[in-house]
Structures are given as C-alpha cells and as structure tokens.
C-alpha cells in the first residue's frame, strides 16, 4: 500500500535520500507523493500522480533551500479517503505548519476526531483521515507538551491501523510509531532511516530494526531509541538484511516482473536448499520439526490464496484434513477449530492486514499458527508460533510471480512433513529437477507468440482440474492484474455450469492438462466442449495426454510429478500475461489501483 521513508543525519542530502527512497517504494502502488523537511520550520512539497510530478515540482522551484534540513519524511499514497489530489497527498500539516505527518493505514475514528477539531477551530485542507493526526499534535503542543509528548498524546486518541512518522519545525528528530502497519528502522553510524519496507533505504544501510505494534521510535543524527506506550526504553536487536540493493534493480530486464519470472529457478533452489534429502526422499525443515496437526486451515489473500488452495489439496491427498479460506472472510466468520488444528497464514510480505487479522483470530482461539512468508522480521513471522520462509528474495513487481512458485514448493514441504501417507520420495525427486525444468521453459517458451496471436481477444478463460485449478485461478489473476483485460479461471468441470455462455470465437481458453488418467481425460472433454463453440484453445501440457490434438496453440512443459507440474504450467501463464500486457502498453510493474503489500482490511 502506501510507502513511508524518513531520514535524519544526512543534512544537505536529506531531500535526495527521500526522493531516492520514494523511487524504491514505487512498486507498492500509489497515486500521489510528497516530502516534508524540518529546518527551523517545516517545508512541504507534494503532488498528485507519479513521483516524476513531485520531482518536477521540486526542480521547478529553483532554490530548494526550504527543502533542506537534517530531518525529513516522504510518502507515496494509495487512496482510501478522498481521491488522488495535491491536497490529499501526504505529508499533512497542522494549522500553523509546524508539524508534518505521514500515515499508512486507516484511522477508524477520524470522523469523530475531525468533528471535535473543527469545533475547536482547526481548519482542514484534505478529505483524508490522516490529517487529523497533525491537528491532534498541534492541540497537545498548545497545552505545553513537548513534541514527543504531543505525538504520544495524539496517537493515544487514534483507533485503527497506522504507521506514523512526524517531523517538527523546531526539532532535528523524527518520531514514529506503528499499530497494524509495518515500519522498519535503518541504522548507520551517522544517520538513521525509517521506512515501510527495507528497499527504501537499503542502498545506505543493511542494518535494520523491526518495530512491533505499540512501539515508538525517536531518530536523531547517529542515534535511535525505541520505547513502549508508557515511554519505557526497549532493547531492540539489530538485524542484517541478507540481500543487497543490486537485487532490487532490473538488471537489464525491461520490467521487474520479467526479471522476477526469470529468477524463479534461483528462488526455487533457495527454497529447497538444505530442506530435502534426495537419498532418503524425506523433508527436514527446522521450522517444521516436531510439528503435528490433526487438521490444517490455510488463510491467505489473492495469489497467496491460490497457493493455499494447492496446499490444502496436497494435504488432503496425503490424509490430513485441510481447507483454504480467504483471510478476509476467516477473520469475521471463523470456522470451528480443535486442539489439533494448525492455522497456516500464507503472505508474501508478512504484512497483509487481512491475513494478520485471521492469524490473530486463530491465536485468540488457542490454536497453533504457522506463517509461510518471504520476509524475515515481518509481523507475521514475529507473531506466529512458527515461520516457514519461502526464501524467494526481494520481489518488486506488484504482480507476484516467483513468490507464488516458492509458496507452492513450500506447501509441498509442509505436506511431506505432516503426511503419514503419500509419495514423498517421488515428490522430493521431482522437486530436485524443478529449477532446471523452469529454466528449460524460460529458454524455449512460445508464450510471446501466443500472446501476439490472442492479444486483442474479448476475454480469457483458464481451466484446470485438481492441482491445476489453483493454476487456472492464478493465470486469470495475472492476466487481469497487468493487462486490465477480462479473465476468469475455473475448475475445468465448472465451465459448462454457466460460464460456457460467455465462450465465443473471441475468447481463448487456456487449458492446463498434464499426465494421464481421469483428470486429463475429463479436462480434454471440457476442451472439446469449448472447441465446439468455436473458442480457440491454448493447451498448457506435458504432451502425455495428447490434448494438443484439440488445441489451436500449445505451451509445452516437461513431464513431472502431479504436485510439481503446477509450478511449470504457471510459469507459461505468467509469460503469456506479461507479453499480452507489454503489447498493450500497460504499466506492468505498477498496475493501476493495485498495491504490493495490502496493509488495510
């Protein structure tokens, strides 16, 4: 969602650091951007639209001496309250312009607070919920509070979720806090940073401190402190980020998404490294040691939910009762649990608000929780009883690619660890070959030619059975996310129960068919149904079933185990979506209205 960057201790370089940090946060999705710097007073510049608009406004100002100082904060906004506009962009200030605040999240009681502030004579410039915060701080300052006391007093009146950072005209410090929205500190010898995500300051330091809910940070030149709600000093550990700034660059690719698609072989090797024993055909994951479960409930959103569907089916096939739930529904309508229930939250960022709410609901009901995430130090990893890291490395493109593949592999590891029956040895052998098979697809895929053929279609349908049902859903989601074209995914057998009415000669159907047996035979029957309606068929197949005899185009994948084939099929569909979007001229890495990490419910 929104992005926050803060910097103190860089003096004349503060503005450049802020703008660079906002550049690094563009992938999160945004519709406006702004900065505020403190140097005796607070100077603010903010603009609707792309970050380039803000940079142009700063450059057009000529003398940017007002936008200099030892402390500054910046923000990229993703609209929740009020449309994109200069006025609704962050940072927001108080009436006197002596305090500036940036905010991620939602202030749920802002209507009540705003009404009180208006009655007290405050004037508001925006439609946002966030603007109440600097005015609350102003009230406390007027009563004689210090900046830190005023900031704490304002926060104490807030209800909802937030990551907040503030600068004051007469102070060289940044004050910050979080509640349900991520915030991380970057520490260096003579400077300190804060951000909603590590890439914002990674080129300056790899030493980080993760804030927990209810904690307050004070950043000054070369120093930082973290305290609790009562102001008691806390001892926080400093971690080192394992990846560097170069890993978040495009490395010669046209888009981050294409780069991350091509990083999948490496990501899968990292996910598997040290966790499988090819000689014994067993899985040995430290995070899963001693884990037992009578039943498993997965909670997730979006792409991660599709991985959860795969994980649930894999466990059921191995004799473990399992279900997948949309996290946003689980938190408000939780299913029954027992002492032996394990709740697994799949979340790329570890900060997805709906998934965190579902996991907290599970913990409140006394069951064990496991986070399956990509981000060390994330909220999910800190709050859950166990964490299985997928090790995919930084993913900058909004549309998840390599993280989905790694999530599916991690679900295979979980299934093999919990299962008392099944074919774990065969799965492990197939996982060993998976990275090389993905590379084979990347080297030889005809996805670009398929995209050229069907780029101007009226819509796209994706079908698959069993483990390929989640792949069909994910293929459709990728097409929707980055092309803005209509796409739907279905279990193959459901196409004839209504959606078939939408099938025409202008709606290609992507059918995922691998192996032989009943699933393949029945899916071929569904292919014939759409073929009879003149719909072009694109078969994603290993060639075993000979479905290509009924297809207008074929995307080949190597033959492998049924629980590994979905990863290979998905890579082909990722490439199709990418090339369709590229030919349509879409904003592939930053699709409209979407954000990388959805930190509001």
- What residues are labeled active site? 2, 596
Q: What is the DSSP letter of 549?
A: G
Q: Are strands 99-107 and 160-168 parallel, antiparallel or unpaired?
A: antiparallel
Encoded tokens for 408? 């599916």
CB-based burial label for 126 (10 Å; 0-12, 13-18, 19+): middle
254/8 Cα distance (integer angstroms): 34
User: 360: part of which helix (H) or strand (E)?
Assistant: helix 353-364
By C-alpha distance, which of 152, 153, 190 is closest to 70?
Answer: 190
538/548 Cα distance (integer angstroms): 8
Q: What beta strand segments (E) does 384-530 contain?
A: 386-389, 460-464, 487-491, 509-513
By C-alpha distance, which of 183, 186, 148 is closest to 167?
Answer: 148
Q: Please report the DSSP string for 116-167 in residue order.
A: HHHHTT-----S-STTHHHHHHHHHHHTT--HHHHHHHHHHT--EEEEEEEE
258/119 Cα distance (integer angstroms): 53
459/565 Cα distance (integer angstroms): 25
- Are 424 and 554 in contact, with CB atoms under 8 Å apart? no
Q: How much is the CA Rg of the chain, to the nearest whole Å?
A: 25
Q: Please report the DSSP string for 55-87 in residue order.
A: HHHHHHTS--GGG-SSEEEEEEE--SSS-S-TT
Scanning the structure block, which residue is given the tokens 């040691």?
289
375/323 Cα distance (integer angstroms): 24
What's the Cα-to-Cα distance from 438 to each of 240, 248, 434, 516, 588, rounded to whole Å?
A: 31, 21, 6, 21, 22
Q: Please report the DSSP string for 243-271 in residue order.
A: S-GGGGS-TT-SSHHHHHHHTHHHHHHHH
Q: Name 106's bridge partners.
A: 161
Question: b/e string for 140-160 if b means 16 or more Cβ within 10 A?
Answer: bbeeebebbebbbbbbebbeb
578/255 Cα distance (integer angstroms): 10
Q: Please report the DSSP string for 267-334 in residue order.
A: HHHHHHTTTEETTTTEE--GGGTT---SEEEEEE-HHHHHHHHHHHHHHHHTT--EEEEEHHHHTTSP
User: 106: part of which helix (H) or strand (E)?
Assistant: strand 99-107
């Amino acid at each position: 969602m929104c992005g926050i960057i803060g910097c103190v201790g860089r003096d004349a370089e503060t503005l450049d650091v802020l703008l660079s940090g906002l550049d690094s946060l563009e992938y999160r999705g945004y519709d406006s951007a702004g900065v505020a710097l403190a140097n005796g007073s607070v100077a603010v510049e903010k603009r609707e639209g792309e970050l380039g608009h803000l940079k142009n406004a700063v450059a057009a100002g000529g003398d940017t001496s007002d936008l200099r100082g030892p402390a500054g904060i910046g923000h990229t906004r993703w609209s929740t309250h009020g449309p994109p506009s200069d006025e609704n962009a962050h940072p927001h200030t108080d009436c006197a312009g002596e305090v500036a605040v940036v905010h991620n999240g939602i202030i749920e009681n802002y209507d009540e607070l705003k009404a009180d502030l208006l009655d007290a004579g405050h004037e508001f410039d925006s439609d946002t919920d966030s603007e109440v915060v600097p005015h609350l701080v102003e009230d406390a300052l007027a009563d004689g509070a210090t900046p830190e006391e005023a900031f704490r007093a304002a926060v104490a009146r807030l209800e909802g979720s937030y990551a907040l950072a503030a600068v004051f005209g007469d102070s060289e410090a940044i004050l910050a806090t979080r509640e349900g929205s991520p915030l991380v500190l970057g520490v260096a010898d003579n400077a300190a940073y804060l951000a909603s995500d590590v890439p914002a300051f990674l080129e300056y330091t790899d030493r980080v401190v993760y804030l927990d809910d209810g904690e307050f940070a004070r950043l000054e030149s070369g120093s930082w402190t973290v305290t609790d709600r009562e102001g008691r000093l806390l001892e926080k550990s400093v971690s080192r980020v394992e990846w560097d700034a170069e890993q978040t660059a495009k490395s010669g690719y046209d888009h981050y998404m294409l780069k991350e698609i091509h990083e999948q072989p490496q990501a899968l090797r990292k996910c598997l490294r040290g966790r499988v024993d090819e000689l014994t055909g067993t899985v040995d994951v430290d995070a899963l040691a001693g884990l037992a479960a009578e039943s498993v409930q997965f909670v997730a959103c979006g792409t991660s939910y599709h991985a959860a569907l795969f994980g649930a089916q894999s466990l059921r096939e191995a004799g473990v009762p399992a279900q997948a739930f949309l996290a946003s529904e689980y938190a408000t309508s939780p299913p029954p649990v027992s002492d032996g229930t394990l709740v697994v939250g799949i979340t790329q960022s570890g900060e997805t608000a709906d998934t965190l709410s579902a996991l907290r609901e599970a913990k409140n009901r006394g069951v064990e929780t496991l986070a399956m995430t990509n981000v060390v130090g994330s909220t999910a990893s800190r709050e859950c009883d166990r964490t299985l890291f997928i090790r995919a490395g930084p993913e900058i493109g909004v549309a998840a690619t390599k993280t989905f593949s790694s999530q599916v592999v991690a679900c295979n590891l979980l299934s093999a660890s919990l299962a008392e029956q099944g074919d774990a040895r065969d799965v492990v052998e197939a996982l060993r070959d998976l990275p090389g098979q993905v590379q084979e697809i990347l080297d030889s895929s005809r996805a670009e030619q398929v995209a050229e053929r069907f780029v101007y279609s009226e819509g796209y349908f994706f079908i698959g059975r069993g483990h390929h049902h989640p792949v069909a859903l994910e293929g459709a989601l990728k097409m929707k996310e980055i092309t803005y074209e209509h796409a739907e995914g279905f279990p193959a057998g459901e196409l004839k129960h209504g959606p078939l009415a939408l099938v025409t000669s202008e709606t290609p159907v992507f059918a995922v068919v691998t192996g032989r047996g009943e699933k393949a035979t029945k899916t071929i029957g569904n292919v014939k149904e759409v073929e009879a309606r003149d719909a072009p068929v694109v078969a994603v197949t290993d060639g075993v079933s000979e479905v290509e005899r009924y297809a207008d185009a074929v995307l080949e994948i190597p033959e492998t185990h049924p629980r590994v084939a979905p990863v290979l099929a998905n890579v082909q569909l990722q490439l199709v979506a990418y090339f369709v979007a590229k030919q349509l001229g879409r904003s592939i890495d930053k699709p409209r209205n979407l954000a990388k990490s959805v930190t509001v419910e």
